[in-house]
């Protein structure tokens, strides 16, 4: 029997070829202190042992579906369509929840009806579940409220696995955009936070797994997806004016210059810095950009050394 007066929370996990991690994610959900949940796992065409492992789980709150491999956004949207909860929460298959994650998040939204979603800090964990870091203390942290304009600038990241939202919001903003992959979480959160107020819960309630691999396998495609996102929000007027649009493009170029440096592509590093300066010449990072360009011509190896530890924790 469902607990009285406790709203149902639908937790959606898209799973792809990470069977053992997926089981850890599932166990972290089923052991929540808040037990009025339904856990929906979408096996996105996995070719490993994910399907067999999922078949072994017996819990009335758990269900899984096998679909053709279509990407995380399609899997999440499939889960949304199957969900019955008043609230939605999303968890990547290699991440885990702290035991009180859902309870604390629900408590916030049930007490504050004008907020439609809540997000939290994270613990960064390695392959063995050891905590190796926490959410950085961002200088431009958006906090609570309507935070879309700060998210569009792409100098702050909200981890999708920390999100819990009222399902009714989906009727207004729509599902995840299946045309993109890398910035899909950010794109969804920007649409959500442009229409509704979010609450920042200053606790590390999600464990976000980091992997020792390059940031993006195809940086050029990732860059084009970020540009697609910015142009989409420019057309929809979420980006208020041309000046802000240029600032967004400048920030993206600056961020990708660091990724190209991490991948030891000096020509792309320079190209991105020049574009960043073109879109927004007089920002606070002007001297850093000029210094980076200068050093890249005089001693390019120093750029690679400097960024060798850049973005140790995976980002969107």
| pTM for this predicted structure | 0.90
Measuring CA to CA, how many Å separate 208 from each of 34, 105, 316?
Answer: 20, 17, 13
Using pLDDT thresholds of 50, 70 and 90, give the confidence band for residue 236: very high
313, pLDDT greater than 80? no
pLDDT of residue 217: 67
Residue 214 has pLDDT above 80, yes or no: no
Q: For residue 1, what pLDDT band results from cuts at 50, 70 and 90?
A: very low
What's residue 135's pLDDT?
A: 80
Q: What is the pLDDT of residues 73-114, one digit of tens each?
A: 999 999 999 999 999 999 999 999 999 999 999 999 999 999
Note the pLDDT of residue 299: 86
What is the average pLDDT across 205-218? 78
42-65 tens-digit pLDDT:
999 999 999 999 999 999 999 999
Task: Answer yes or no: are the C-beta atoms of 163 and 109 closer than 8 Å.
Answer: no
Lowest average pLDDT, out of 61-75, 135-149, 290-304, goes to 135-149
Q: Buried b vs exposed e over 135-161: b needs ≥16 C-beta within 10 Å?
A: beeeeeebebeebbbbbbbbbebbbbb
Q: Note whether 277 and 179 are within 8 A (CB).
A: no
Q: What percent of the chain has pLDDT over 90?
A: 76
**CA distance readout (Å), 301 to 259, 262, 268:** 15, 11, 14
Q: How confident is the model over 127-140, as a mean pLDDT?
A: 82
Looking at residue 139, its pLDDT comes to: 62
238, pLDDT greater than 70: yes
SS (HEC) of 52-115: HHHHCCCCCCEEEEEECCCCHHHHHHHHHHHCCCCEEEECCCCCEECCCHHHHHHHHHHHCCCE
Percent above pLDDT 70 for the chain = 93
| Structural domain spans, the chain | 9-209, 219-306
Q: What is the Cα–Cα distance from 246 to 281, expressed in whole angstroms?
A: 10
Radius of gyration of the chain (CA): 20
pLDDT of 132 over the 50 cut: yes
Helices (H), the chain: 19-30, 50-55, 72-82, 101-111, 148-152, 170-173, 184-195, 219-235, 242-262, 266-279, 286-298, 300-306
Provide the pLDDT confidence category of residue 212 given band limits of 50, 70 and 90: low
Instruction: Please give the CATH superfamily to which domain 9-209 belongs.
Output: Spore Coat Polysaccharide Biosynthesis Protein SpsA; Chain A (3.90.550.10)
Residues in CB range of 147: below 8 A, 6 or more apart? 193, 198
């Amino acid at each position: 029997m469902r607990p009285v007066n406790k709203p149902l929370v639908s937790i959606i996990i898209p799973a792809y070829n990470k069977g053992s991690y997926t089981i850890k994610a599932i166990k972290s959900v089923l052991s929540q202190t808040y037990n009025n949940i339904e856990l929906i796992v979408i096996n996105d065409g996995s070719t490993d042992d994910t399907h067999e492992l999922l078949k072994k789980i017996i819990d009335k709150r758990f269900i899984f579906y096998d679909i053709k491999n279509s990407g995380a956004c399609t899997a999440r949207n499939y889960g949304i369509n199957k969900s019955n909860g008043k609230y939605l929460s999303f968890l990547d298959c290699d991440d885990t929840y702290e035991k009180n994650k859902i309870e604390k998040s629900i408590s916030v939204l049930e007490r504050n009806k004008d907020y439609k979603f809540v997000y939290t800090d994270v613990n960064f964990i390695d392959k063995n579940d050891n905590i190796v870091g926490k959410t950085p203390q961002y200088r431009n942290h958006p906090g609570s409220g309507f935070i879309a304009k700060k998210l569009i600038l792409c100098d702050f990241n909200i981890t999708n696995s920390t999100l819990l939202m009222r399902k009714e919001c989906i009727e207004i903003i729509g599902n995840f955009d299946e045309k993109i992959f890398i910035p899909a979480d950010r794109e969804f959160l920007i649409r959500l936070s442009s229409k509704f107020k979010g609450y920042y819960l200053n606790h590390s309630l999600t464990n976000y797994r980091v992997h020792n691999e390059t940031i993006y396998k195809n940086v050029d495609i990732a860059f084009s997806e970020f540009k697609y996102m910015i142009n989409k929000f420019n057309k929809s007027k979420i980006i208020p004016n041309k000046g802000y649009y240029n600032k967004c493009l400048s920030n993206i170029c600056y961020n990708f210059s660091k990724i190209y440096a991490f991948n030891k592509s000096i020509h792309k590093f320079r190209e991105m810095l020049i574009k960043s300066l073109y879109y927004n010449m007089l920002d606070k990072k002007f001297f850093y950009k000029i210094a980076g360009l200068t050093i890249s011509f005089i001693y390019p190896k120093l750029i690679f050394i400097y960024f060798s530890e850049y973005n140790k924790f995976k980002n969107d």
